[in-house]
Amino acid sequence: MAERERRHVRVAVIGSGFGGLGAAVRLRRQGITDFVILERADAVGGTWRDNTYPGCACDVPSHLYSFSFAPNPEWPRNFSGQPHIRAYLERVADTFGLRDHLRFRAEVLSMRWDTEALHWEVETAAGPLTADVVVSATGPLSDPKVPAVPGLDTFPGKVSHSARWDHDDDLRGQRVAMIGTGASAIQIVPAIQPDVERLTLFQRTAPWVLPRADRKITAAEKWLHSTFPATRAARRGLLWGIREMQVSAFTKRPDELGLIEFLARNHMKKAIKDPVLRAALTPDYRIGCKRILLSNTYYPALAQPNVDLVAAGLKEVRGSTLVGADGSEVEADTIVFGTGFHVTDLPIAQRVTGAHGTTLAEEWKDGMSALRGASAAGFPNFLTIIGPNTGLGNSSMILMIEAQLNYLADFMRQLDVLGPKIALDARPSAVQEWNRRIQQRMARTVWNTGGCDSWYLDKNGRNTTAWPGTTAEFKKVTRQVDLAEYAVLRPPAGKPADRPAGPRTEVAA
């Protein structure tokens, strides 16, 4: 195939979830219109497009789990469901004029930093392009993880993952095995339990579950919020403030979380009367170590006569028989994996080759790290949204994304001030120092000391995902780019500081 014409853009944004759309809005606000959003699917929404499983909803209140610059007075519930969040993101794309920038079915296959031209060469499923700056907003919850269970290929029935729900598969009357007890599984269980013949839940680790203070947002509240925006802002502020006050218990004083364990135990007691089942459902680690789950329907569903709990992981599959790590055997027609995502081994990292010829995955083989959650050393003009150590245990990720958008905006400003064809590469010493401070603080957090294993920790046991502070602190430390933390790269002597000619905003289709 003849090499297709490479188009050039100032910025290529990868992904069109909250992070990618937010980056696009921010670029436009900065007056930058020469950018594309590369999306592998055929619609916006990221994880809120892909997760359509029954019962899917966000466990952060909607008035906080939305952009500050795109308020929605019409949220239907405290904790709105996936269809409403997805529709919100579609509206953001329309309202902020992002449609012309979107390139669907344009999965990034590989990208390489050109050390002479000082730009990224990006191969996408929709053709090649070059970009001065790449913003990777692929998110940590985008690539489903299915454990390599021996014998899984011998299973004659349907196998699916929570993030790839098959709505054509009618579960009514089926014997379903649900694998996992994370945030996804505990929403699926009560949603499908009334319909299935038998539901067997494989619980490797019991989660802590608290009540969910969900309710409809009344017409009067909606009217108030759209007529007097200050009331909506006050509601958001209150939701934010309460969560900020909880942070120190997670990050400095995990013992204070004991009271919340008491509430969680009581919550379970109300629905689970069988002491043996209750014992099996009681976690053996500090609450907060894994993500705290919110549900009013999970325990009542587990108490139903058509539900069995296997308090062990799925070890093996032999035809239609599922074997637990405790030796129990269960027959099933369908297996649903609620086993999470590739978070600390991001697949996109294998596709990004930096200035030294190594991939981001190779650079991160001993653990992810990025300056202020955004810049990895040796990957110039490459910023991650929801990068390493930007995750939260108790509040809205949209707050962290918006802080990272401030950083992106300042990064672009600095590049403009420095002149054309300039690149910024995080200094290894700055990345190391940033990471050293994070890891030092991490040692006291409930995620590291609470006695559990979780997706916050990588294969070496290092916490490379969570932010050990308040969202206000993260906002502060990402307000501006500190140029001392970056090497300024200029074109080699004798090379004109130009940009490739040709159309600048379109990916070859």
Task: Please report, as ranges, the residues that interact with ligand NAP according to CB under 6 A.
Answer: 57-59, 141, 147, 162, 179-185, 187, 202, 204-205, 291, 313-314, 338-340, 453, 455
Look-up of token digits 């945030």: 183
3-state helix, strand, coil in the chain (%, to 5): 35, 20, 45
CB 136 within 8 A of CB 352: yes
- Element (H or E) spanning 160, and its range? strand 158-161
Smallest distance from the beta carbon of 428 to ligand NAP, in angstroms? 30
Q: How far apart are CA 326 and CA 315, in angstroms?
A: 9
Smallest distance from the beta carbon of 134 to ligand NAP, in angstroms? 25
> Two tokens at 234?
């006050």
Q: How far apart are CA 475 and CA 68, in angstroms?
A: 13
Smallest distance from the beta carbon of 377 to ligand NAP, in angstroms? 28
Q: Which is nearer to ligand NAP, 340 or 354 (CB)?
A: 340
3-state SS assignment for residue 166:
coil
Alpha-helix runs per DSSP H in 323-383: 360-363
Burial of 329 (0-12, 13-18, 19+ CB in 10 A): exposed
Smallest distance from the beta carbon of 284 to ligand NAP, in angstroms? 11
Q: Which is nearer to ligand NAP, 301 or 355 (CB)?
A: 301
Please choose, from the candidates 10, 15, 11, 41, the residue with its C-alpha nearest in 3D space to the C-alpha of residue 348: 15
SS (HEC) of 267-299: HHHHHCCCHHHHHHHCCCCCCCCCCCEECCCHH
Q: Which is nearer to ligand NAP, 145 or 444 (CB)?
A: 145
Angle at 314 between CA 461 and CA 140, to 5 degrees: 45
Q: How far apart are CA 338 and CA 342, in angstroms?
A: 13
**Up-side HSE of residue 23: CA atoms within 13 Å toward CB?**
33
Smallest distance from the beta carbon of 267 to ligand NAP, in angstroms? 16
Identity of the amino acid at 232: R
Smallest distance from the beta carbon of 9 to ligand NAP, in angstroms? 31
Smallest distance from the beta carbon of 209 to ligand NAP, in angstroms? 11
Q: Which is nearer to ligand NAP, 119 or 175 (CB)?
A: 175
Q: Which is nearer to ligand NAP, 185 or 446 (CB)?
A: 185
CB 393 within 8 A of CB 447: yes
Q: Which is nearer to ligand NAP, 122 or 403 (CB)?
A: 403
Smallest distance from the beta carbon of 482 to ligand NAP, in angstroms? 30
Q: Which is nearer to ligand NAP, 22 or 182 (CB)?
A: 182
Q: Which is nearer to ligand NAP, 141 or 405 (CB)?
A: 141
In sequence order, what are the residues at sequence separation of 6 or more whose Cβ sits closer than 8 angstroms to the Cβ of residue 505? 7, 9, 33, 34, 35, 36, 101
Pairing of strands 314-318, 119-124: unpaired
Smallest distance from the beta carbon of 375 to ligand NAP, in angstroms? 24
Smallest distance from the beta carbon of 187 to ligand NAP, in angstroms? 6
Q: Which is nearer to ligand NAP, 179 or 376 (CB)?
A: 179
Identity of the amino acid at 125: A
Residues in the chain: 509
Q: Which is nearer to ligand NAP, 148 or 484 (CB)?
A: 148
Neighbours of 430 (CB within 10 A): 18
Smallest distance from the beta carbon of 146 to ligand NAP, in angstroms? 9
Angle at 26 between CA 500 and CA 412, to 5 degrees: 45
Q: Which is nearer to ligand NAP, 127 or 147 (CB)?
A: 147
